[in-house]
Structure 1
Amino acid sequence: MRFITKRIGCSFIIGALLLSNTSCNDYLDINKSPLTATEIDPSLVFGYAVTAWDANKNSGDGWLPVGLMAQNLASGGNFGWGRENVYDISVYSLGNTWKTYYSTGGNNLMQAIKIAESADPVQNNAAAQSKIVLAQFIYEATALYGDVPFSEAWNPEEFPYPKYDNQKDVLYGIVRLLDEAIAQIEEDNVLKIKDYDIYYNGEMSQWKKLANSIKFKVFMLMVDAEPTVAEQIGQLLSADNMISSTADSWIHKYYERENNENPKFRLLKDFNSGVNNWFFANTNVLNYMHINDPRIPLYFDAGEAANGEFIAVGTNLDASEETATISAKLYRADAPSVILSYHELLLLQAEAYARGLGVTQDLTKADELYKEGVKQACIFYGASVSDATSFVSEDLESLVSTTNPLNEIHIQQWIDFMDRPQDAFIQWRRSGPEGQEVPILSLPSGAPAGPLIRRWTLSPDETAANPNIPNPQPRYSDKMWFDL
């Protein structure tokens, strides 16, 4: 089997390598105590936290296993990455990802908040910036693991063994944290994280838009299990103070220089000579794309023997020389890491209007947002404005006349997340009741008999360290509170 020998312990090695090489020298000694704040600028702690986070999320610990298990990437079976990891998530991935949310990432953000709020004068903007990113951390953690520590987390003196809050309470807690951050923002105050703000360079009006956008996304996750949050969805739509252009998108930028390269580029550079013959177009994505979708040649590279045709392969089935690989463009050194995009938000807004969530149902408005969202997604990934415009006007069905407008929106949301596995996994689970999700997925070849995967389980490190873990421990097929 090709490449399998290289993969022993690969998740741990890749995660450690990316973390050690991505950070700047200034980050190295920023917090000698792993649990308590020291005398340090909150900007440095913030910078280390977000670097560690993206290194984990877009490497062998996060992007790779979630992409394969969620079936938006294909391993190519024995022709490519291999078969072994179907629903068998490495303990290193489970543990390193948890530690990112609660130690190298989350704990450092909490220290940044404490430092900023205890400073003289108080650095409200730095605290707000850190809280907004921390809210996203916990959103990802609960969407991946389910019930997680929140109300007692990052307070080891008082709560050395933090309890696990149920997911509903965690999601409401995220909203409260974002509201705190919004209230703290002082747009005219020069005290803020600027040089280490790799997202918005200290522009606090952008941070306020981001906080509202994350709230909107959280409420859209909650609304099926908690219909009352539709009112908050409507309020956010009416207030119109969310991400409103591609320039507003929340993006971690990378560059073509040593130690600042995209983690996926470095994964392939360090472990496969910079060549992608590990990851392939999955039929669960390509087969849902319209033949004229301009993203196809931007998402995928045609197989060497395919004569320019784009041919996908099923999850965990063997690829061939004809099978399209994931495009090298997405693995380039300066490829951005997208955290929350304008086009993603447009599609969520289209969904809200199509469903009448907090607003009067309006399929005409939904159709406008839907087509603009798809258009902006195509442009973001490199399609020309004319090609993107022609595609949405000539090839996409109108939501007003189609028989199932919500299904059309969910298909485009799924396609948009092809290279963002965590978001794809969340989107698939929230797209419909069990067995009616979009797309309909089947159990991968070689996976244990039983239901599809719906979460990660806790790592052995966490189960050994915290006596307050859930009992019984959740299984990978157990649904979460939001997942109907």
Structure 2
Amino acid sequence: MKMKHKIILFLLLVAIGGVSCKKYLNINSNPLSSLTVEPKLLFGYAITAWDANKNSGDAWIPIGLFSQTLASGGDYGWGKDNVYNISSFALGNTWKVYYSTAGNNLKLAIKNAESASPVDNNTAAQCKIILAQIMYEATTLYGDVPYTQAFDPDKFPYPQYDSQKSVLEAVIALLDEANAQINVANALKLTDYDVFYAGDLNKWKKLANSIKFKTLMVMVDKDPSKAAAIGQLLANPSSMISAANESQLRPYYSTTNNENPKYRLFNRYTNGENQWFFANSNVFDYMFPNATVSDPRIPRYFDKGTNASYKAIGSEVTADETVSLISAYLYRKDAPSVIFSYQELLLLKAEAYARGLGVSQNLATAQGLYKEGVIQSCLFYGASSTDANNFANTTLPSLTTASDPLRQIHLQQWVDLMDRPMEAFVQWRRSGPEGSEVPALTLPIGATSGALIRRYTLSLDEVAANPNIPNPQPRYFDKMWFDL
């Protein structure tokens, strides 16, 4: 695929994402204006723009390539380009989603819900939970970002940047505020615009605590005092997601304009077939492909090559027809978008017990959570219960006897997040000090000589418009606060 076609792909992202659900459109043509709009419409527009960006050319493709969960196939597939030269459209469009089409609309929805008569506290709380997740993504992708002065252009036309630690603290505070604001006995909610939980406010409360737990796990290595809050949540497991049906999923359907953004991307450019992305050995090799009982996610993640077997390659190595493509199953029309999953939480809890974060170190408890997390991941991706349990019981190493149990947990976190590269990128960076991350990645062929990539750089539009950007500007290899 030629580079000019890739640039067109990024330019057309809004067109691809913006049609995913027509009832969400045309509700705030000027996102910097405080229009009186129903909160549910603002919420619907925000989550549509956010998810379309996260699952297409602006975030999923570049982050998947440079974080090395996807292989480009070299000249045979996406193209052997400099994977560290991120498109200005990807940088700018993603920033605009966080601060305009999604972030600002959520802030306006919160304002309108809290000023309504009667006050709609539940809708405000739901919007705060999504805003917290969005700001978590913004800071883990860009580093220091505006928050305190963001979303108020009349008062702060050039918002100051907050430190990453401050933003993550604000995320936790916003989640606590939302959880306290929810009244499960009150019927006021987002009704049919709540595509995640259909108005089940108990699930929203559990989601808020689960995102808080994830945020604390990102912070704890740099701020050990967060271990106490981790322990408090572990002591009350029912306060967080406690079953697979409580995962936060954005559903998609087989009807036109309601398909998964990845499907629509391939449908537009490659007649609905994945011709660009291949099995990356940095994922495949950790799925026990040569074991007597291999990972049952392999046939859900990858399609066999022409030699009727599974084969992976390095990040920018040129592929041929024998190399496994990323599975069509993952790009089907009705594939849900995963925002936070049960298996993700189980593996984080396993890590906390293995490390003794806020609790006594307990490898036996960690083992149970680790095994169940892998089983739930296999089930989520379509493996049978028999295959999932057989793999977990016969092939997974035991944490109680493994020489490095934490590494085994991190590897399964990485494998589970293969098709969620934004989350995989955070997981990799926090998995160990620089040079000791799990897995051990090397510089892809064709990448800029030097260090591995560790962030998005700032949008060119933001650099041109805001005199309060950090000085010096962050470089792609600069570590963030949470990144040891």
Q: Is contact 2:80–2:318 with CA below 8 Å preserved after alignment?
A: no
Q: Is contact 1:3–1:80 with CA below 8 Å preserved after alignment?
A: no
Q: Which residue of 2 aligns with 1:417?
A: 417
Q: Is contact 1:76–1:317 with CA below 8 Å preserved after alignment?
A: yes
Q: Which residue of 1 aligns with 2:269?
A: 271
In the TM superposition, what are the counterparts of 1:135-214 in structure 2 within 5 Å?
135-214=132-211
Q: Which residue of 2 aligns with 1:405?
A: 405
In the TM superposition, what are the counterparts of 1:113-124 in structure 2 within 5 Å?
113-124=110-121
Aligned-partner Cα distance in 1 for 2:213–2:18:
34
Q: Which among 84, 88, 92 is matched to residue 87 of structure 1? A: 84
How big is the shift at 1:384? 0.4
In the TM superposition, what are the counterparts of 1:346-385 in structure 2 within 5 Å?
346-385=346-385
What are structure 2's unaligned runs of at least 5 residues? none
Q: Which among 245, 248, 251 is matched to residue 250 of structure 1? A: 248
Q: Which residue of 2 aligns with 1:216?
A: 213
Q: Is contact 1:254–1:261 with CA below 8 Å preserved after alignment?
A: yes
Q: Which residue of 2 aligns with 1:295?
A: 297
SS class of match (2:19)? helix
What are structure 1's unaligned runs of at least 5 residues? none
* Aligned residues between the structures: 479
CA spacing shift, 1:85–1:268, aligned 2, 3 Å: farther
- For 2:268, the aligned partner's letter is D
Aligned-partner Cα distance in 1 for 2:393–2:446:
41
Q: Which residue of 2 aligns with 1:473?
A: 473
SS class of match (2:379)? helix
Q: Which residue of 1 aligns with 2:325?
A: 325
Q: Which residue of 2 aligns with 1:337?
A: 337
Q: Is contact 1:4–1:81 with CA below 8 Å preserved after alignment?
A: no
Q: Is contact 1:31–1:37 with CA below 8 Å preserved after alignment?
A: no
Q: Is contact 2:17–2:261 with CA below 8 Å preserved after alignment?
A: no
Q: Does residue 437 of the first structure (1) align with residue 434 of the second (2)?
A: no
How big is the shift at 1:238? 0.7
Q: Which residue of 1 aligns with 2:314?
A: 314
Q: Is contact 1:37–1:115 with CA below 8 Å preserved after alignment?
A: no
Aligned-partner Cα distance in 1 for 2:37–2:5:
40
Q: Does residue 65 of the first structure (1) align with residue 62 of the second (2)?
A: yes
Aligned-partner Cα distance in 2 for 1:395–1:211:
34
How big is the shift at 1:3? 4.6
Aligned-partner Cα distance in 1 for 2:184–2:27:
27
SS class of match (1:9)? helix
How big is the shift at 1:91? 0.3
How big is the shift at 1:158? 1.2
SS class of match (1:338)? strand
Q: Which residue of 2 aligns with 1:386?
A: 386
Q: Is contact 1:261–1:333 with CA below 8 Å preserved after alignment?
A: yes
Aligned-partner Cα distance in 2 for 1:344–1:238:
18
How big is the shift at 1:309? 1.4
Q: Which residue of 2 aligns with 1:53?
A: 50
Q: Which residue of 1 aligns with 2:260?
A: 262
Aligned-partner Cα distance in 2 for 1:135–1:113:
12
CA spacing shift, 1:85–1:57, aligned 2, 3 Å: farther
Aligned-partner Cα distance in 1 for 2:18–2:356:
47
Q: Is contact 2:18–2:52 with CA below 8 Å preserved after alignment?
A: no
TM-score w.r.t. the length of structure 1 is 0.98
SS class of match (2:192)? coil
How big is the shift at 1:5? 4.7
How big is the shift at 1:226? 0.5
Aligned-partner Cα distance in 2 for 1:404–1:247:
32
- For 1:137, the aligned partner's letter is I
Q: Which residue of 2 aligns with 1:19?
A: 17
CA spacing shift, 1:319–1:394, aligned 2, 3 Å: same
How big is the shift at 1:32? 3.8
Percent identical: 59
- For 1:42, the aligned partner's letter is P
Q: Is contact 1:286–1:312 with CA below 8 Å preserved after alignment?
A: yes
Aligned-partner Cα distance in 2 for 1:328–1:336:
14
Q: Which residue of 1 aligns with 2:101?
A: 104
Aligned-partner Cα distance in 2 for 1:175–1:4:
41
Residue deviations 1:304-341, cap 9 Å, x none? Answer: 2x2x2111010111011110000000000001111100
How big is the shift at 1:20? 2.6
- For 2:6, the aligned partner's letter is R
- For 2:332, the aligned partner's letter is R
Q: Does residue 8 of the first structure (1) align with residue 2 of the second (2)?
A: no
How big is the shift at 1:33? 3.3
- For 1:301, the aligned partner's letter is D
Aligned-partner Cα distance in 2 for 1:371–1:238:
20
Q: Is contact 1:77–1:319 with CA below 8 Å preserved after alignment?
A: yes
Q: Is contact 1:349–1:369 with CA below 8 Å preserved after alignment?
A: yes
Aligned-partner Cα distance in 2 for 1:5–1:179:
46
- For 2:204, the aligned partner's letter is W
How big is the shift at 1:31? 1.8
Aligned-partner Cα distance in 2 for 1:279–1:437:
24
Q: Is contact 1:142–1:167 with CA below 8 Å preserved after alignment?
A: yes
Residue deviations 1:239-288, cap 9 Å, x none? Answer: 22100111000000000011100000011000111111100000100011
